[in-house]
């Protein structure tokens, strides 16, 4: 294949320029890292930043923003240590069978009133008290406890819903 007259010098120039730029990338990162370790100078004696310094700093800040956990606003409420279902028992109300979520899952206070035609998953012996989602420690009175499916509500230990999972 014949060479064109202007082809070789422009290819060489391109490779030389791109190689030089590629070699400068680590240097720009080193300059950015060195700036972090320097003590802050007074505002009136701030040195002029070059475009390379600005780009490196912006890239470093963007990376830190992606990896850092966001700070909570000063007026934000403190983060809860426990999920909502871990609320104190005295503040939890009993789940009503008329609750929309309870109706959707076929919750009944008494397993004897479970509609086995509609909920074929029900098997004899399945009770809230032997379900893996039942939280007996949250019960405010005997026979009632919390449930992971119904946070903030108490369910009857002798009840059942379609979310039943055997306790491990």
pLDDT score recorded for residue 11: 76
Of the candidates 147, 66, 65, the residue with the CA atom closest to the CA atom of residue 105: 147
Per-residue confidence of the chain (168 residues) as pLDDT tens digits?
555 555 556 777 777 777 776 666 666 565 555 555 555 555 555 556 555 555 556 556 655 555 445 555 555 555 555 555 544 445 788 999 999 999 999 999 999 999 989 999 999 999 999 999 999 888 778 899 999 999 999 999 999 999 999 998
pLDDT score recorded for residue 110: 95
Instruction: List the 134-135 sheet strands across, edge first.
Output: 93-94, 153-156, 144-147, 134-135
CA distance 34 to 142: 65
The CA radius of gyration of the chain, in Å to the nearest whole number, is 33
CA distance 128 to 157: 5
Long-range contacts, 24-29 (Cβ 8 Å, 24+): 24/52, 28/52, 28/53, 28/55, 28/56, 29/56
Within 8 A by CB and 6+ apart from 51, the residues are none
pLDDT score recorded for residue 35: 52
For the question of whether the overall pTM of this predicted structure is more than 0.75, the answer is: no
Structure tokens that stand for 137 in this block: 């420690």
CA distance 147 to 132: 9
């Amino acid at each position: 294949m014949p060479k064109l007259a202007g082809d070789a010098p422009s290819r060489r120039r391109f490779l030389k320029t791109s190689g030089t730029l590629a070699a400068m990338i680590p240097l720009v990162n080193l300059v950015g890292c060195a700036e972090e370790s320097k003590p802050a100078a007074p505002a009136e004696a701030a040195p002029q930043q070059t475009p390379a310094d600005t780009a490196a700093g912006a890239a470093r800040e963007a990376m830190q923003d992606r990896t850092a956990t966001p700070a909570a606003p000063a007026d934000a409420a403190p983060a809860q240590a426990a999920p909502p279902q871990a609320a104190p028992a005295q503040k939890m109300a009993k789940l009503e069978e008329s609750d929309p979520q309870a109706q959707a899952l076929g919750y009944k206070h008494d397993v004897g009133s479970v509609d086995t035609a509609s909920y074929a998953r029900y098997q004899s012996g399945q009770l809230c008290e032997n379900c893996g989602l039942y939280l007996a420690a949250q019960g405010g009175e005997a026979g009632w406890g919390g449930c992971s499916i119904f946070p903030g509500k108490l369910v009857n230990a002798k009840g059942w819903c379609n979310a039943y999972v055997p306790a491990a």
